Structure 1
Amino acid sequence: MAYTRRDAATLTRAEKRRFVKALLEVKRRGEYDEFVRMHIEHFSSDGEHGLRAAHMAPSFLPWHRRFVLDLERALRRVDSSVTVPYWDWTRDRAATSTPWTADLLGGNGRRSDHQVMTGPFAHREGNWPIKVAVTDAAFLRRDLGRRRAPIDLPTKSELERALRDPVYDVAPWDSTVERGFRNKLEGWARGGTSWRNHNRVHGWVGGDMLGGASVNDPVFWLHHAFVDLQWYRWQRRHRGARYLPATPPPSGDAQHGRVVARHQPLPPWDVTPDELEDVSRVYRYA
């Protein structure tokens, strides 16, 4: 029977407590750091050689759908009532609103070093040491809104621009494409200087949410649950629209062997984008 993912802003105190407790237990068991390692390993860009599965490619959405689902399964092994909530960053836009409360994810980092000082994931609580990272910091860091060069979270109209596009993705299937739902949602722009939607949220949170080790901040999951919800909504708006490319780019194409086609397996799993397009039997959104 399918379970329901809900808006973080609607969670009761008890639901927040169970979600946090399950996250901390997955961390204590050592499972959480394996998710961080996996994301770092698959954080490949256009400029690198080989297959791109997690970012700057059509498989951005199915890869993260399976990634969030795996974390959710780990949480539900601890507490079967827990699901991953989503953060609606088009509505909850302040550094003091959901999910930045002491009973959920805690607040912003301090000015000196961006160390998070409040909430269950603060370093001083002793339950969330950063063990796998691309920096030497052992504590969770945030810089909500980017104090020195402020940016805003994406708006509903910016998200709507992505949802309106009836085509999933287009060649050359990378960060440079200007058409297609996937890149408008993932948020790359020509030259990589202007972030949109998903990317800008990572930039707005700052700290550990910048780069391949972004999983170290638990908000990663709430953010990507909301991104996954947009794919869910896009599918229902554009009935019959499918994941693209349907077939692999041919030999001689610059993207040959670099992107995952609809019926090819997504590393590191033995699952295809085609199999991840419909998850209605697993979960739904409230």
Structure 2
Amino acid sequence: MATVRQDQKVLTYAQRKAFTDAVITLKKKGLYDPFVKTHVDYMALDQDNGPRVAHRAPSFLPWHRQFLLMFEQALQAINKNVSLPYWNWTAARAKNAPPFTPDFMGGDGQGGDREVPNGPFAYSKQNWPLNERIDTRPFLRRVMGVDATSLPTTDEVNLVLGLVPYDAAPYNSSSATGFRNRLEGWSGADLHNRVHDWVGGTMTGGDSPNDPVFWLHHCYIDKLWADWQAKHPGYGYLPATTTKNVIALNDPMPPWRTRRPSELIDHKPFYTYA
């Protein structure tokens, strides 16, 4: 049976704790930090005018779909009842409300370094040292509402969901038309990138998976792709054929080599969204 991913706002206390416990166990087993390193590596590699896989490219969505799927499967190896929740930031918009509560993701950063002081991932709890990081600070940081002063709205999401085709040349951050670039946030309404900036701190760098809210945010981005697919069944992944520097429909995606966008177009064999 496929996993069911739910909105984080409907999770019970027990479900929130099961999720955070599994994430911390993954960390303690040394299995979390490789996800961070993979993201750091590809954030550095992905450039508009060279080979690009995880960002600034059509494969932004299938690459992260695979990334989330592998993370979810790693959590389920610890607790089979855990699934990735999503954070619908068009509805849950407050700094001191779920998911940013002491029993779930913890709150905003405090002090000069904006260290997150509470929640399961607070450095003081000794469960969450940042080992794979891009600066010297070993603790989770958030600076909410500063780099970006507002979260995307429902109207902005609906506007992006109405866009076709999936992507367009030159298939990078300057693509003037297409759904992917608007969802990723390099132009237009700016959805994905703006949320990273709104959370701020650790979420603004290549090591953003060090903030566990990364997974909830990207789970919602993946849901929006699924919503777009349902809304536009006549439009598929582009480019469909080999194109320089980007991943075409049937090209293998680094670093996994055995996964192609074509194998991830339909998420329903793996999970569904409630």
1:259 matches 2:246: yes
CA distance in 2, matches of 1:143, 1:171: 35
Aligned equivalents of 2:47, 2:72: Cα separation in 1: 29
CA distance in 2, matches of 1:83, 1:46: 32
Question: In 2, distance between residues paired with 1:14 and 1:232?
Answer: 28
2:233 maps to which residue? 239
Gapped regions of structure 2 (runs ≥ 5): none
Partner SS, residue 61 of structure 2: helix
Deviation by residue 1:187-206 (Cα, 9 ceiling, x = unmatched) = 002xxxx8710000000000
AA aligned to 1:167 is P
- Find out whether 1:153 has 2:140 as its counterpart: no
Tell me, what secondary structure is at the counterpart of 2:32? helix
Q: Percent identity?
A: 46
Structure 1 unaligned spans of 5+: 250-255
Deviations 1:34-60 (A, max 9, x none): 0000001111343563x2100000000
1:26–1:32 Cα contact (<8 Å) kept: yes
CA-CA distance at 1:150 after TM superposition: 5.5
Structure 2 residue aligned with 1:252? none
Partner AA of 1:203 in structure 2: D
Aligned to 1:253: none
Query: Which residue of structure 2 aligns with residue 166 of structure 1?
Result: 164
Indicate conservation of the 8 Å contact 1:161/1:184, yes or no. Answer: no
1:246·1:261 contact (CA, 8 Å) conserved in 2?
A: yes
Mapping 1:125-204, distance limit 5 Å: 125-146=125-146, 151-189=149-187, 196-204=190-198
Whole-angstrom distance in 2 between the partners of 1:25 and 1:78 = 8
Kindly tell me the number of residue pairs found equivalent between the two proteins. 272
TM-score by length of 1: 0.93
Question: Could you say what secondary structure the match of 2:72 adopts?
Answer: helix
3-state secondary structure, aligned to 1:31: coil
Structure 1 position 109, deviation (Å): 0.3
Please state how far the C-alpha of 1:241 moved relative to its aligned partner: 1.4
Q: Distance in 1 between matches of 2:48 and 2:269?
A: 37
Q: CA deviation at 1:111?
A: 3.4
Q: List structure 1 segments (4+ residues) > 3 angstroms apart after TM superposition.
A: none
Q: Deviations along 1:108-152, whole A, 9 cap, x unmatched?
A: 000311100010000000000001111000100001111xx6510
Q: Which position in structure 2 is the counterpart of 1:81?
A: 81
Give the Cα separation in 2 of the matches to 1:231 and 1:133. 29
Whole-angstrom CA distance in 2 between matches of 1:195 and 1:241 = 21
